[in-house]
Structure 1
Amino acid sequence: MNPLTADAVMVVHGPEVFDAGDVEWLIRLLSPREVLVAGVMARTAARESGLPVTCTDERPSVLLNALSGRAFLVNRGKTPDSGRIFGEIIAGRLGSGRGLVHVESSSRTVYSWNRADDALAQEIAEMTGFTLASATSTGTPRDGTREIRGCIPGEAVFVNGIVIGTATDETVVLSSRNGTIRPVSGLEVKPHGFEKLLRRGLPDLRAAWCKSGMIRSAPPRPGKVRVSRAGRVAVIDHCGHTLYQEIEDEEVCGVLAIGDDTTAVCGHICSHAGIPVFGVVDGDGDGIVEPGFAPGSVVVEVTYGRDDDLGREVAATRDLEASYWDEWVEETLRSLEGRVRVVVDRREG
């Protein structure tokens, strides 16, 4: 008789499960019917791995809610506690009466949240040798308030892909009142981060993507090298998590990234795809990802002012339909002469 896992969908979250080899091992061991990948950096790690998976733009809870048959979530938290917290959050977002089978690699535990498919959970625990544990989620937070738990003091805190400050406690509490967001506790604020977040509109804290720490700890794996070519220059302004929506376009020949963290994320993701990046930074990066840039990439640091202003000026004044990427970079550097200094240069020669 086939194991239950052979008829189940494995939903994978985060890059660490790929980087640590968990996904490859679980595919070989459990033979799931399908593997769906959730998350931007997970997609990057998945593509680098070459494993037979399907990448999506959806969050784990959205994927799991949309599946009608057997399914389970695989995650590797930065700590066992943060991994458990993540599972609790996802379980609390599933539809009424739906449980969650959650394989947490960091603690070698299979959680059965909210009376999940216990038969599937037990089978996975037996096949992997992981501990089986029953758990109950506490439900959704009260209106207007969001707790970001499992933080390590000193690490960056994100809301919808933008760093809003540094954690000072294991739990960061945010409040949404009177058309703005304010920190309640556990956060050393980065004012520019809040400014960038609110510039895009007031987010719904209950549904917002919130996390802390590095978005990927492993460096990018080198991939293919593209020759300089004509095409469109995609502009990514302080929201690197939207990058895949742009670079899936075959017409894109390079990326203009605005902001330190955005440049780091774009460089990391694009390096495996061989897509060069022109980054505009001002030196206030938070070290959220290991850097890496494809050949042809250039990063400039503004000598005065903010990267926001100069980056948007470049986006507004330079022709974003490039005859050749290398020529576009040369012309852009000439237009910025005396206002920036080159800090990364991956051009040949």
Structure 2
Amino acid sequence: MNPLTADAVMVVHGPEVFDAGDVEWLIRLLSPREVLVAGVMARTAARESGLPVTCTDERPSVLLNALSSRAFLVNRGKTPESGRIFGEIIAGRLGSGQGLVHVESSSRTIYSWNRADDALAREIAEKTGFALASATSTGTPRDGTREIRGCIPGEAVFVNGIVIGTATDETVVLSSRNGTIRAVSGLEVKPHGFEKLLRRGLPDLNAAWCKSGMIRSAPPRPGGVRVSRAGRVAVIDHCGHTLYREIEDEGVCGVLAIGDDTTAVCGHICSHAGIPVFGVVDGDGDGIVEPGFAPGSVVVEVTCGRDDDLGREVAATRDLEASCWDEWVEETLRSLEGRVRVVVDRREG
């Protein structure tokens, strides 16, 4: 009889499962029919790993809801408790009567959420040597309030890729009322964080992507350098998690990143892709990812004002079709003379 895992789809979340070697080990051990990757930084780590996986733009719950075949989720939380909480959230977002087999590497546990496929869960537990645990998720309340659990005080808190503040407790509580969002408890609000979030419209807190901590702890692995230095300059404004939609385009020769955290994320991802970044920052970064920049990258810090304003000015006044990336950078620096200082310079010579 064929093992159940050979007919199952493995859905992978987060970069840590690649960086720790979990995905490579599980593929070799379980031989899943297909491996689907969810998440921006997971995609970066997946590409660096060179493993035979399929990257997507979807969230784990969306992928799992769309699958008609056997499937299981693989995750490595920053702590065993945060990993369990993540599985509970995903299980609560699945269709009625649909359980979840959740492989949590941080605690070496196989969770069988909500009457999941117990035969598949048992087989994975036997092959991995992980403990098997039954668990129940009650779903996500839809009362305009959102709890972000499993936080470590002092770490950054995100909503839809925007840092909105710093956790002061293990649980951050947000509330959506009267067309805006406010912090109820557990959060030291970051100036302009909510402003940047609401600039793109009021998010549905129940469906929003919320997390805390670093989005990846491992440094990027440098890749090749794109041969073409001519083409379109993609603009990423305080929304680094949308970057892959831009850099998949072979016509992109570089990225204009606006904001400290956005610049860090873009530099990290583009480092492996070999795409240079021109970052505009003002020094209020949250250390959410290990830095790294491809050759040809430059980061400038504004000496007066905010990165938002200066970055949008560059996007509005500079031609975003560059005949030569290096010349575009030089001309942009000349246009900003006296208003910025260069803090990262990866140009040759």
Give TM class, smaller chain.
over 0.9
Contact 1:145/1:176, CA 8 A, preserved across alignment = yes
Q: Secondary structure of 2:192's match?
A: helix
Q: How far off is 1:257 after superposition? A: 0.1
Q: Single out whichever of 297-306 and 227-236 deviates more from structure 2.
A: 227-236
The residue that corresponds to 2:63 in the other structure is 63
- How far apart are 1:227 and its partner, in Å? 4.0
Contact 1:236 1:258 (C-alpha < 8 Å) held by counterparts: yes
Q: Which portions of structure 1, spanning 4 or more consecutive aligned residues, are displaced by more than 2 angstroms?
A: none
Deviations along 1:220-243, one digit per CA (max 9) or x if unpaired, are 001002345210000000000000
- Larger displacement relative to structure 2 (221-230 or 35-44): 221-230
What displacement does 1:142 show?
3.6
Deviation string 1:230-272 (CA, Å, 9 cap, x unpaired) is 1000000000000000000000000000000000000000000
CA offsets per residue over residues 81-129 of structure 1, 9 Å max, x none? 0000000000000000000000000000000000000000000000000
Q: State how far apart, in whole Å, the 2-side matches of 1:228 and 1:331 are.
A: 19
- Cα distance in 2, alignment partners of residues 93 and 139 from structure 1: 6
> For residue 184 of structure 1, what is the aligned residue in structure 2?
184
On the 8 A contact 1:298/1:344 being kept in 2, the answer is yes
Q: Deviations over 1:37-65 (max 9, x none)?
A: 00000000000000000000000000000
| Unmatched runs of 5 consecutive residues or more in structure 2 | none
Is contact 1:218-1:290 (8 Å) kept? yes
- How far off its partner does 1:141 sit? 1.9
Whether the 8 Å contact between 1:233 and 1:322 is mirrored in structure 2 is: yes
Compute the displacement of 1:309 (Å).
Answer: 0.2
Q: Which moved more, 1:310-319 or 1:191-200?
A: 191-200
TM-score of the pair, normalised by structure 2: 0.99
| Deviation per residue, 1:199-236 (Å, 9 max, x gap) | 11000000000000000000000100234521000000
What is the aligned partner in structure 2 of residue 173 from structure 1? 173
Query: Distance in 1 between the 2:98 and 2:227 partners?
Result: 49
- Conserved 8 A contact 1:5-1:30: yes
Tell me how far apart the structure 2 counterparts of residues 141 and 152 of structure 1 sit (CA, whole Å).
23
1:112 and 1:118 in contact (8 A); partners too = yes
8 Å CA contact retained: 1:225, 1:295: yes
Q: Are 1:267 and 1:277, in contact at CA under 8 Å, matched by a contact in 2?
A: yes
Q: Indicate if the aligned counterparts of 1:228 and 1:326 stay in contact, CA closer than 8 A.
A: no
Give the Cα separation in 1 of the matches to 2:219 and 2:191: 29
Alignment: residue pair count:
349
- CA drift of 1:191 comes to 2.5
% identical equivalent positions:
96
SS at match of 2:25: helix
TM-score by length of 1: 0.99
* Mean Cα deviation higher: 140-149 or 103-112: 140-149
Partner of 2:95: 95
Q: Give the distance between the partners of 1:69 and 1:313, measured in 2 at CA.
A: 49
CA distance in 2, matches of 1:10, 1:109: 16
Q: Is the 8 A contact 1:259 1:280 kept in 2?
A: yes
Equivalent position of 2:82 in the other structure: 82
Q: Deviations over 1:319-340 (max 9, x none)?
A: 0000000000000000000000
Secondary structure in structure 1 of the residue aligned to 2:267: helix
Equivalent-residue separation in structure 2 for 1:268 and 1:227 (angstroms):
19
* Residues 269-278 or 219-228, more deviating: 219-228
Contact 1:158-1:164 at 8 Å conserved across structures: yes
- SS in structure 2 of the partner of residue 338 of structure 1: coil
Q: How far did 1:143 drift?
A: 1.4
Equivalent position SS for 1:73: strand
Distance in 2 between residues matched to 1:181 and 1:207, nearest whole Å: 14
Secondary structure of 2:90's counterpart equals: helix
Structure 1 Cα separation of the partners of residues 174 and 295 of structure 2 = 40
Q: Is the 8 A contact 1:214 1:289 kept in 2?
A: yes
Shift in Å, 1:136 = 0.1
Instruction: Determine the structure 2 residue equivalent to 1:47.
Output: 47
The CA distance in 2 between the partners of 1:209 and 1:142, in whole Å, is 15
Deviation, 1:140, is 1.2
Q: Distance in 2 between matches of 1:207 and 1:248?
A: 26
Distance in 1, matches of 2:18 and 2:11, equals 12
Any conservation in 2 of the 1:235–1:255 contact (CA below 8 Å)?
A: yes
Residue pair 1:152, 1:170 contacting (<8 A) in 2 also: yes
Measured after TM superposition, the shift of residue 2 of structure 1 is 1.3
For the Cα contact (< 8 Å) 1:254–1:277, is it kept in 2?
A: yes
Whole-Å separation in 2 of the counterparts to 1:141 and 1:86: 15
